[in-house]
């Protein structure tokens, strides 16, 4: 069976273990110098809802709690993790593998932007090449000892998410959404993909959920009423968080200062991950 299998045997002529009742194994071995305890995917059904933001904030919170943390930036064509942390320069390598970069507080990370000559160069690759690169970030990088690794995935349910679901030992995923009803429908596609791949949904984070007026202190739901509780209930997810629209969040990401930002909105989610 190919790595791009859709699990729909009715439209496929391959004589593979899946058709014959066996369980195909696409799992990729970690680098010999990697000892990663928990791998958490951060996904969404569409782009622009804040996966990289949630990945960054969760990493910062768990690092503050004393855990060793790493980020595998699987959003190859739109990598933004290094910028949020103010990490620049190219990755180094030895005969044993690639050395991850590290943030000011010691969060390890690998991103394609740290392999390019110019961080603004476009990545014009086809899906299988991108998926193969993401797998190499797992197999070729010497992550060493890591308590929590967050995988910042591209949007949707295409090649890269499928590769991550099949190749990496995911302990679960966090789904990122926003209040619009259409986005909620798309989020359910991501949740259904996780269910098909037997990966648990550990939590749902609604970004841009509300804005608190600095004059009256009232919450304004600019993008409409929240639907996160209904989605969470439908899929039996108990951990839910809501992120506000706040100028400090944008400033921290744009200025590479995400590690200086306080994020009390995700403390409960961080506690839930510690209980895995």
Percentage of residues of the chain with pLDDT beyond 90 = 64
Residues 6+ apart with CB under 8 A from 233: none
d(CA 201, CA 235): 8
By C-alpha distance, which of 148, 163, 142 is closest to 68?
Answer: 148
Q: Is the pLDDT of residue 182 over 80?
A: no
For 139-163, what is each residue's pLDDT tens digit? Answer: 999 999 999 999 999 888 788 999 9
Task: State the pLDDT at residue 127.
Answer: 85
d(CA 12, CA 160): 21
pTM: 0.89
By C-alpha distance, which of 176, 163, 173, 211 is closest to 194?
Answer: 173
């Amino acid at each position: 069976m190919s790595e791009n299998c859709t699990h729909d045997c009715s439209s496929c002529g391959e004589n593979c273990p899946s058709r014959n009742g066996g369980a195909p194994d696409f799992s990729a071995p970690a680098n010999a110098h990697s000892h990663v305890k928990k791998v958490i995917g951060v996904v969404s059904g569409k782009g622009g809802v804040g996966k990289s933001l949630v990945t960054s904030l969760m990493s910062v919170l768990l690092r503050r709690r004393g855990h060793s943390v790493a980020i595998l930036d699987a959003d190859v064509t739109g990598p933004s993790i290094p910028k949020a942390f103010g990490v620049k320069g190219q990755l180094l390598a030895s005969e044993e593998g690639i050395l991850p970069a590290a943030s000011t507080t010691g969060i390890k990370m690998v991103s394609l932007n740290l392999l390019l000559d110019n961080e603004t160069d476009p990545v014009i690759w086809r899906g299988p090449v991108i998926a193969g690169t993401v797998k190499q970030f797992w197999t070729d990088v010497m992550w060493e000892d890591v308590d929590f690794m967050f995988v910042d995935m591209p949007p949707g349910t295409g090649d890269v998410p499928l590769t991550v679901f099949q190749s990496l030992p995911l302990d679960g995923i966090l789904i990122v959404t926003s209040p619009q009803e259409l986005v909620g429908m798309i989020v359910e596609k991501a949740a259904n993909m996780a269910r098909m791949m037997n990966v648990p949904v550990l939590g749902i984070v609604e970004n841009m959920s509300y804005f608190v007026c600095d004059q009256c202190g009232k919450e304004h739901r600019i993008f409409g009423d929240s639907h996160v509780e209904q989605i969470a209930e439908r899929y039996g997810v108990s951990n839910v968080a809501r992120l506000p629209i706040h100028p400090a969040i944008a400033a921290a990401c744009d200025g590479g200062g995400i590690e200086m930002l306080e994020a009390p909105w995700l403390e409960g989610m961080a506690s839930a991950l510690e209980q895995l």
